Amino acid sequence: MHIAILGCRGIPNRYGGFEQFASYLAEELVSRGIKVTVYCSHFHPEKSTEFRGIRRVMIFDPEKWLGNAGQIIYDLLCILDARKRNYDIIYQLGYTSCGLWQWLLPTNTPVVSNMDGLEWSRAKYGFFAKGFLRWSERKVALRSGWLVADAMPIQQYLDNTYQKKTIFLSYATPAVHQPDLAYLENWQVKPGRYCLVIARLQPDNHIEEAIQGVLQSRTDLPLLIVGNTASSYGKKLKRQYASRTIQFLGSIFEKEVLDALRAGSAWYFHGHSAGGTNPSLLEAMAAAGKIVAHDNPFNRSILKKNAQYFTSSHDIGDLLQNPEPEEIWENRIQKNRESILKDYSLDRLTNSYLAFFQKVLSS
């Protein structure tokens, strides 16, 4: 079996959730004897044609120069290359721009699409961009043989909207056993003495609410923000809030460093709201963080009662001023770790995908 994964910037992860998922899944499938090819942007810092047994196809990507228009070209070039190869299954991650090119996909190869979240609901997009994303979502959904949802609310939405064959396959993450807290010395913070956000800096991740909540609480704990500040929104946040209390650390991709930051934090704010299961949330659960998540059906479907939730900066300020007892948090943390081992393990993810891919091929 040969699986091609399209739709991400490439592996190893140097960008975000899809890249982390692709890295985990591809490595696990290769360890089971499955051949996997992952399409990668040509500006990815890793240039080798193979990474941990995974074949890498480097594709020209003008996104750095053309913005979203560059992503459209990158998707086109990935699909054109995939047409020339004899894959057993093409697995598309997302639909943001590839809806334009679905008619170019090979007709003799099963196409599976992971529909991610409700991209058209993201606050960073304007009216016309949201309209295009709704159109692209529909094109991808109707062209694909199978749709994958990574959260139950997304599966319900897809079932109701498209009446297609949809399967729920969540993400996964390895357990974190002994994080190396010595990494915290890089930022001169101590375990339990800082708050943390790890996210792309965009409005629908509610980073500004976390910043304002920390400032309103007048806590002596600094807020460390991990994420690329090169975007216009990231520059705005940094220009407006950077201080001893609000520290922007930039991009960090080394998992052992991120595990240490999550495990050592007093509070971990997870503001993702556009749908789907975000791998960084699972990693926070695995690292035994005290998670304060944006209140939406997607986060609640994962965390259930094992977190606190916010809808505004005032909620965060109140939480920091009046924290719940430690024994309540210890119980939540333990249940989150159990959930990672039981429901979101890499072994479970791999077994589920292998069974699913076999079903796709047999049908």
Which pairs count as long-range contacts for 243-250, CB under 8 Å and 24+ apart, including other chains? 245/214, 245/215, 246/211, 246/214, 246/215, 246/222, 247/187, 247/222, 247/223, 249/187, 249/224, 249/225, 250/226
Following DSSP, what letter does each residue of 314-359 receive, concatenated? HHHHHHHHSPPPHHHHHHHHHHHHHHHHHHS-HHHHHHHHHHHHHH
Are residues 124 and 245 part of one domain? no
Q: Considering Cα of 69, then 75, then 78, then 79, what sign does the dihedral take?
A: negative
Identity (one letter) of the amino acid at 227?
G
Are residues 239 and 140 part of one domain? no
Q: pLDDT digit string (tens) for 269-304?
A: 999 987 778 889 999 999 999 999 999 999 999 999
Q: What does DSSP say about strands 50-51 and 54-59: parallel, antiparallel, or unpaired?
A: antiparallel
Edge-first strand order for the sheet with 89-93 is 50-51, 54-59, 35-41, 2-6, 89-93, 111-114, 146-149, 166-168
Q: What does DSSP say about strands 89-93 and 54-59: parallel, antiparallel, or unpaired?
A: unpaired
Are residues 189 and 158 part of one domain? no
Q: What does DSSP say about strands 195-198 and 267-270: parallel, antiparallel, or unpaired?
A: parallel
Are residues 352 and 263 part of one domain? no
**Domain that includes residue 285, residue range:** 181-343
Are residues 126 and 45 part of one domain? yes
d(CA 279, CA 296): 16
Are residues 326 and 253 part of one domain? yes
Are residues 160 and 293 part of one domain? no
Are residues 201 and 77 part of one domain? no
Which stretches in the chain have pLDDT values below 70? none
Work out how many domains the chain is built from and give that number.
2
Are residues 104 and 9 part of one domain? yes
Peptide bond into 45 cis (omega under 30): no
With contact defined as beta carbons under 8 Å apart, do 336 and 164 qualify? no
Give the tokens for residue 99. 């809806």
Span between the terminal Cα atoms of the chain, in Å:
15
Are residues 155 and 29 part of one domain? yes
Selection from 148, 174, 349 nearest residue 259 by Cα: 174
Return the ∠ at Cα 253 (arms to 124 and 353), rounded to 5°: 80
**Alpha helices per DSSP H over 3-151:** 17-31, 63-66, 68-83, 127-143
With contact defined as beta carbons under 8 Å apart, do 223 and 207 qualify? no
Query: Coil, helix or strand for 89?
Result: strand
Q: Considering Cα of 203, then 208, then 213, then 214, what sign does the dihedral take?
A: positive
CB atoms under 10 Å from CB of 45, counted, come to 8
The residues, any chain, with a CB within 8 Å of residue 188's CB and separated by 6 or more, are none
* DSSP-derived secondary structure letter, 118: -
What is the CATH number for 212? 3.40.50.2000
Report yes or no on whether pTM surpasses 0.95.
no
Are residues 36 and 137 part of one domain? yes
The residues, any chain, with a CB within 8 Å of residue 339's CB and separated by 6 or more, are 285, 306
Amino acid 148: pLDDT = 95
Are residues 58 and 108 part of one domain? yes
